[in-house]
Amino acid sequence: MLKVKQLKIKGFETVVVGKDSSADFHAIIAVHSTQLGPSLGGIRMWPYRNETEGLQDVLRLATAMTKKAAISGLPMGGGKAVIIGDPAKDKTRNLFLSMGELIETLHGKYIAAKDSGILPEDLDIVSEKTRHVTGSTNKQGGSGDPSLATAKGVLAGMQAACKFVFGTKCLKGRVVAIQGIGQVGWNLGNLLFQQGAKLFVVDLQPSRVKQAQRSWTASVVPLFEIHQVPADIFAPCALGGILNADTIPHLRANIVAGGANNQFLDEEQDPFRLMKRNILHVPDYVLNAGGLIHLFVREILHQRRVAPWILNIQRTVHQVLAASLQEQLPPLVVANRMAFQKLEFH
Ligand code: NAD
């Protein structure tokens, strides 16, 4: 039986922990804000060492979703969920049914989607217990995996950043180092390859790396060295925290622009460290909003044409970078201010 515990956490509207020992289920949902609308955000499945680690991740991810929706001009709030477990080993039908039950306890305040470790087919099972799910398979009435839309948004934002730094949007011949070639990274790699970029890649899964070598003649970098590649663009597309006091001194890219959420380990200090090194960072939640936009347009608005919405990312990236240059503040600081202004003036 599902047991639900409420946690009181300053700055968050609702945080619930769900456990069902008969299903080996242990998950947390964090709703950061529903000020602009119901919160929409993915479920991440990851083998967190304990609940505290999962809680820390879900709180950061949920906060980023509030900012992502606000800066993208969507009438949605920010929320996120994590399931503590290994997606390669621990997925069961009962686990996802329990996830559906937990979502249902929030009565639509949190609308689920996929994040790392989750597939549309998993969301099909979740949707047997709750209708507050987006991104399930077409067969189940959903709009499927939004990762391609995310990658298209990242590409659009990268072009805006290139225009800013190199004076041209053109990606032909640009060297891009991608960390993590999962669903976002893989789609991004394909798009960059089509644009004529030269790719360096790494992933924890050797099969993905081999596929990238074959498909894009990508160069493979040892794990934990991808940030040191002398590239035009470093594109983090794995999990968070890759930009930190240890890695920033070794970065050799002109631009950091990737799909991963929460790229800075320390959001107070690290954006300034990067700026001091004269490396341009495109804030992750501005750049990777394509998936959220896709789900909003297709499943909340019930419209089909997502592309013009995704192109807006280019305009937002330009606004953020221009203000950052003018004010001599890191792009993340400027983007945070722009996002919170939208919340304040709502
Ligand atoms: P995914 O699980 O499909 O891919 C992540 C990949 O990163 C995996 O292949 C994994 O093996 C690899 N990886 C993990 N740690 C690594 C490391 N240290 N070095 C190299 N590779 C590593 O997940 P995804 O859906 O592609 O999401 C990737 C990132 O993008 C996450 O941070 C997610 O929150 C963010 N994001 C995803 C979407 C989306 O539409 N899927 C939308 C917005 C943001």
Residue 333 pLDDT greater than 80, yes or no: yes
Residue 323 — very low, low, confident or very high, per pLDDT cuts 50/70/90?
A: very high
> Which atom of ligand 1 lies closest to the CA of 236?
29
DSSP state, residue 23? G
170 and 215 within one domain? yes
Total of domains in the chain = 2
Answer yes or no: do 209 and 320 share one domain: yes
Cα end-to-end distance, the chain, whole Å: 40
Domain boundary (111, 140, 169) is at: 140
What distance in Å separates the CA atoms of residue 35 and residue 155, rounded to the nearest whole number? 30
The confidence score (pLDDT) of residue 240 equals 86
pTM: 0.95
Q: Whose CA is nearest to atom 14 of ligand 1?
A: 238
Q: Do 273 and 297 share a domain, yes or no?
A: yes
Closest CA to 319 of 36, 67, 65, 71: 71
| Catalytic positions, written as ranges | 80
- Determine which residue's CA is closest to atom 32 belonging to ligand 1: 260
The CATH number linked to 80 is: 3.40.50.10860
**Same domain, yes or no: 159 and 299:** yes
Q: Are residues 124 and 157 in the same domain?
A: no
Res. 303 pLDDT band, cuts 50 70 90:
very high
Residue 302 domain boundaries = 147-344
Tell me the CA–centroid distance for residue 328 and ligand 1, in Å. Answer: 31
Find the 180 Cα to ligand 1 centroid distance in Å: 6
Distance 285 CA to ligand 1 centre (A): 14
The ligand 1 atom at the shortest distance from the C-alpha of residue 87 is 2
Q: What is the mean pLDDT of residues 273-300?
A: 97
**Sequence-ordered strand ranges (E) for 153-301:** 175-179, 198-202, 219-220, 233-236, 255-256, 280-281
Beta bridge partners of 19: 3, 26
Nearest residue (by CA) to ligand 1, atom 9, is 182
Q: Tokens 């991808």 appear where?
A: 226
Among the listed residues 341, 344, 346, 335, the one whose alpha carbon sits nearest the alpha carbon of residue 64: 335
Domain boundary among 120, 140, 160: 140
CA neighbor of 198 nearest in space, from 228, 164, 229: 229
Residue 148 in 3-state DSSP? helix
Pocket test for ligand 1, best of 239, 246, 263, 288 (most atoms within 8 A of CB): 239
Question: What separation in angstroms does the CA of 320 have from each of 36, 239, 270, 324?
Answer: 21, 23, 18, 6
Return the ligand 1 atom nearest residue 185 CA: 26
Question: Pocket residues for ligand 1 (CB within 6 Å)?
Answer: 115-117, 146-147, 150, 179-185, 202-205, 208, 223, 237-239, 259-261, 288, 291
Provide DSSP, 269-281.
THHHHHHHTT-EE
Are both 243 and 218 inside the same structural domain?
A: yes
Q: Does pLDDT of 346 surpass 80? A: no
Tell which atom from ligand 1 comes closest to the C-alpha of 147.
40
Mean pLDDT, range 147-167, rounded to an integer = 97
CATH number at residue 240: 3.40.50.720
Q: What is the DSSP letter of 218?
A: P
| Residue 211 exposure: Cα atoms within 13 Å on the Cβ side | 13
Domain identity same for 319 and 237: yes
- Token match 């039950």: residue? 101
Average pLDDT rounded to a whole number, residues 216-234: 96
Q: Are 290 and 266 in contact (CB under 8 A)?
A: no
Q: Residue 345 pLDDT > 90, yes or no?
A: no
- Same domain for 172 and 281, yes or no, is yes
Same domain, 94 and 223: no
Tokens matching residue 151: 């990658």
Phi, psi (rounded to 5 degrees) for 195: -85, -5
Domain endpoint, select from 140, 169, 190: 140
Looking at the fold, whether 134 and 183 belong to one and the same domain comes out as no
Judge if 168 and 272 occupy the same domain: yes
* Range 325-341 average pLDDT: 97
- In this structure, the answer to whether residues 81 and 185 fall within a common structural domain is no
